[in-house]
Amino acid sequence: MNKERLVKGLLSLVVVGSMASCTVIRPGQIGMKQTIGKLKPGVIAAGPKLFNPFGTKIIKINVRTVELYQTLELPTKEGLNVKTEIILLYHVKPESARDIYIQYGTNYEQVVVESNFIATARQVSARYDAKELYAVDRKLVEHVIMDELAADIGSKGFQVDAVLLKEIILPAAMTQAIQSKASAEQAALQMEFVIQKAVKEAERLSIEAEGIKKAQLIINSSLSESLLKYNYIEMMKSLSTSPNAKVIITDGKVPVMLGGQ
């Protein structure tokens, strides 16, 4: 009975030991072997890896792009603090994974990336007014933070992929002031449009009146006495041949017709 228990116990230890001595390096990870505190040269390729759990461990460093999300109170040029939601996308350069682990350990994100990210974001935001951060230069600020952060941590083995200002929350009074100014600018643009439309309409009426005036001058200049007499004779001919009964009284210049239909 005791032998049975001893065998079972040994088998359990073997099984546990076997499970503990196997690990998997996944795609997007860099593996390194550390034996009795000493890091072995080279890296371990993706796939399963057997190792002696007594005195040896496998270090895994993620080299995929990761997201670092922060909610920060950033200062502005006028001395205000604005609440922001800001995201950093970065990754560890595969060729630098070994040096990063040696210098900073596996807690490299908090030690290097996060601290530099917060400091750079605060330094850059302090160069801009709150309104510029809110509406005007958000993309520019993102690029400036990205470039300056890359200069700070790029040489340490990190690649900055993007910086995104997701949300900027201004003090309520400033938000109201910005909205009021925007509304006033829209009203001014609308009034300018109305004025321009009125000016164009006045120009159109002036051009139309000038055309009518010129037409009347041309007509008046063409109405000679001979032409008027000719038109008078033609009209009298038409009246004389009309089947309707009528009386025409004229002084030779202006006829007056009485009766008829």
SS (H, E, C) the chain: CHHHHHHHHHHHHHHHHHHHCEEEECCCEEEEEEECCEECCCCECCEEEECCCCCEEEEEEECCCEEEEEEEEEECCCCCEEEEEEEEEEEECHHHHHHHHHHHHHHHHHHHHHHHHHHHHHHHHCCCCHHHHHHHCHHHHHHHHHHHHHHHHHHHCEEEEEEEEEEEECCHHHHHHHHHHHHHHHHHHHHHHHHHHHHHHHHHHHHHHHHHHHHHHHHHHHCCHHHHHHHHHHHHHHHHCCCCCCEEEECCCCEEEECCC
CB 69 within 8 A of CB 113: no
Top pLDDT among 7 and 128 is at 128
Q: Taking the CA atoms of the chain, what radius of gyration do you get in angstroms?
A: 46
Query: Is pLDDT at 64 greater than 60 in this prediction?
Result: yes
Query: Is pLDDT at 12 greater than 70 in this prediction?
Result: no
**Rounded mean pLDDT of 85-89?**
95
Top pLDDT among 84 and 36 is at 84
Query: Is pLDDT at 167 greater than 90 in this prediction?
Result: no
What residues pair up with 34 in beta bridges, in sequence order?
A: 39, 57
Distance CA 83, CA 72 (A): 6
Query: Is pLDDT at 75 greater than 80 in this prediction?
Result: yes
Token readout for 16 is 């546990």
**Rounded mean pLDDT of 88-104?**
92
Per-residue model confidence (pLDDT) at position 134: 73
For 224, phi then psi, to 5°, come to -80, 165
Residue with token string 């009246």: 239
Distance CA 246, CA 261 (A): 8
Q: Residue 106: how many CB atoms within 10 A of its CB? A: 12
pLDDT band at 43 (very low <50, low <70, confident <90, very high): confident
Q: How crowded is the C-beta side of 100, counted as CA atoms within 13 Å?
A: 30
Per-residue model confidence (pLDDT) at position 68: 95
Distance CA 68, CA 91 (A): 10
Per-residue model confidence (pLDDT) at position 14: 53
- pLDDT, tens digit, for every residue of 209-235? 887 877 777 776 766 666 666 666 776
Per-residue model confidence (pLDDT) at position 23: 79
**Which range, 50-54, 56-60, 163-167, 197-201, has the best average confidence (pLDDT)?**
163-167
Per-residue model confidence (pLDDT) at position 123: 93
Query: Is pLDDT at 52 greater than 90 in this prediction?
Result: no
pLDDT band at 90 (very low <50, low <70, confident <90, very high): very high
Per-residue model confidence (pLDDT) at position 1: 53
**Which range, 170-184, 193-207, 219-233, has the best average confidence (pLDDT)?**
193-207
Query: Is pLDDT at 191 greater than 90 in this prediction?
Result: no
Distance CA 54, CA 23 (A): 14
pLDDT band at 188 (very low <50, low <70, confident <90, very high): confident
User: Distance of CA 48 to CAs 64, 78, 165, Å?
Assistant: 19, 56, 40
**Rounded mean pLDDT of 253-259?**
53
Per-residue model confidence (pLDDT) at position 133: 78
Give me the percent of the chain exceeding a pLDDT of 70: 69
Q: Which among 86, 111, 94 is positioned nearest to 159, based on CA atoms?
A: 94
Query: Is pLDDT at 117 greater than 90 in this prediction?
Result: yes
